[in-house]
Amino acid sequence: MAENPGKGIWCVAELRHGALVPTIFELLSAARSLDQVSKEGVCAVVLGGPGKTAPAAKEIASRGAQRVFVLEHALLDGFLEEAYARALKDLIEREKPSKILLPASVAGRSLAARLAVACRAGLLGDVTAVALDSSGNLEALRPCYGGNLLATVAVRRGLQMATVRPMAFPRAAQASSSGEVVAAPVDPSSWGLRGRFAGFAPEESKEIDLSSAEKIVSGGRGLGSAKGFELIRDLAHALGAAVGASRAVVDSGWIAYRHQVGLTGRAVRPKLYVACGISGQVQHLAGMSSSDVIVAINSDPQCPMMKLANFAVQGDLHQIIPAVVAEIKKQRG
């Protein structure tokens, strides 16, 4: 890996169906914490189709990015990791940043891996905290062994990159002044792309999206079987909540992975989190412990989840949940 004399901490924004994904504000918060030490400056990059990045760039510039590089081209209209990596590599070679943060989303992870190879950069994946060592190199905390341990990982030379897990940092607040938006040139003549973005095929689902839900009802082993999730869905429907799950029940095939909460699933921060039959392993707690209010329903009063909860209900969830649902319906008439 070649030495990198560059300067500047970059955050790569993600557009999904043309809308700015708010994880960029968490990346900016992480970058600003590093910049307080390194004084390198914080920049952001947003990629998209012609005329489709202006609102996102303006919003990012108002949240603490001193410069926002805009890369627009028809080949960037829709996420294609090969095209995005090529465009970013060209920009990196011109501007020479020292560090780059990307979201640990499906798109962010795949883009980061391809970009790291293209730039011969060091990549720290799925980190939950970032810092600088005494030499100004990037260090981070990363969950390992199924989320049961946190390892300190580092890049000591060259271009330094990391993908940052959602909810690991607070969202950057509005800055006192807006940064500069810079339209960067895009020349795809040397890219030699092997694919083209065709379009999205959205998943048909009437469920509330877990990542943005203000209320979540999650189920664990205490449900007894996959059939137990009928109770979880009943309570979630009554509360207008999303359905979550522990890793154990996802691994058992009781419910799809998209419902998994924890270090190896989704990190969430709802206003209300109801944990039903979840004992509270470390990797699960790390993904939801920042919830405003936590309610636990469990037969074991000594389990970690019951100790963490703001409200702990001891008893048989197969009796408690139907009673709660019935009471909610009664109160609503």
In whole angstroms, give the CA distance from residue 244 to residue 259: 5
How far is Cα 94 from Cα 51, in angstroms, rounded to an integer?
23
Mean pLDDT of 161-170: 92
Please give the average per-residue pLDDT across 117-144, as a whole number: 94
Work out the average pLDDT over 73-84. Answer: 92
- pLDDT reading at 1 higher than 50: no
Q: What is the rounded average pLDDT of the residues 220-225?
A: 96
What's the confidence (pLDDT) of residue 58?
96
pLDDT digits (tens, 9 = 90+) for 129-141: 999 999 999 999 9
Beta-carbon contacts of 99 under 8 Å, excluding residues fewer than 6 positions away, are: 8, 9, 10, 31, 34, 40, 138, 159, 160, 161, 162
The CA radius of gyration of the chain, in Å to the nearest whole number, is 22
What pLDDT was estimated at residue 2? Answer: 45
Residue 106 pLDDT level (bands cut at 50, 70, 90): confident
What's the pTM value of the predicted model, to 2 decimals? 0.76
Residues 271-287 have a mean pLDDT of 94
3-state helix, strand, coil in the chain (%, to 5): 35, 25, 40
Torsion angle of alpha carbons 77, 79, 85, 91, nearest 10°? 40
> What domains sit in the chain, N to C, each tagged with a CATH number?
9-190 (3.40.50.620), 210-331 (3.40.50.1220)
Could you give the CA distance from residue 245 to residue 255 in angstroms, rounded to a whole number? Answer: 8
Q: What is the C-alpha to C-alpha distance for residues 241 and 19, in angstroms, rounded to an integer?
A: 23
For residue 142, give the DSSP letter: E
Angle between helices 229-239 and 317-331 (to 10 degrees): 20
- Condensed to tens digits (0 to 9), the pLDDT of residues 15-62 reads 988 899 999 999 999 999 999 999 999 999 999 999 999 999 999 999
Instruction: Report the alpha-carbon distance of residue 239 to residue 241 in Å, rounded.
Output: 5
Tell me the two tokens of residue 283: 């990797």
DSSP SS3 for 129: strand
The pLDDT score that the predictor gives to residue 317 is 97
Residues 304-330, mean pLDDT to the nearest whole number: 96
Report the C-alpha gap between 27 and 22 in whole angstroms: 9
pLDDT band at 203 (very low <50, low <70, confident <90, very high): low
d(CA 240, CA 201): 26
pLDDT-above-70 percentage for the chain: 95
CA distances from 192 to 83, 87, 119, 189 (A): 9, 12, 17, 7
Predicted pLDDT of residue 190: 87
φ, ψ (nearest 5 deg) of residue 114: -65, -40
What tens digit of pLDDT does each residue of 6-24 get? 689 999 999 988 899 999 9
